[in-house]
Amino acid sequence: MSLAITIDRAGRIVLPAELRRRLNLGPGSRLRLDVVAQHIELTPEPQDAAELVVSAGRRTVLRATGAAFDAAAATREERDAQARRGRQG
């Protein structure tokens, strides 16, 4: 995929919606910027399991990303976090 995009006066660029959907990027997604020779490379950074676990009312759910994900590890991390919060309070 090759696209021409424009930098605004504040130095910002907008990634087209099709590209954001293709790479599962949304608000808060982190990108790594590398300058290679005379090129700029933007690479999505992997998300931590803790960033994918969200509360929905009284339930804890995984946010959909379309990427491979270790749900068991995320569940363990969330349970450990809940246990830590319980010991602190």
Q: Is the pLDDT of residue 89 over 70?
A: no
Per the confidence metrics, is the pTM higher than 0.85? no
Element (DSSP H or E) covering residue 35: strand 31-36
CA angle 24, 29, 35 (to 5 degrees): 100
Where in the chain is CATH 2.10.260.10? 1-45
Tell me the CATH architecture of domain 1-45.
Ribbon (2.10)
Q: Is the pLDDT of residue 9 over 90?
A: yes
Q: Is the pLDDT of residue 60 over 80?
A: no
Q: Is the pLDDT of residue 6 over 90?
A: yes
Binning pLDDT at 50, 70 and 90, where does residue 69 land? confident
pLDDT at 49: 61
Please, which contacts does 80-83 make with residues 24 or more away whose CB atoms are closer than 8 Å?
81/50
Contacts of 4 (CB under 8 A, 6+ apart): none
DSSP label at residue 50 = H
pLDDT at 35: 95
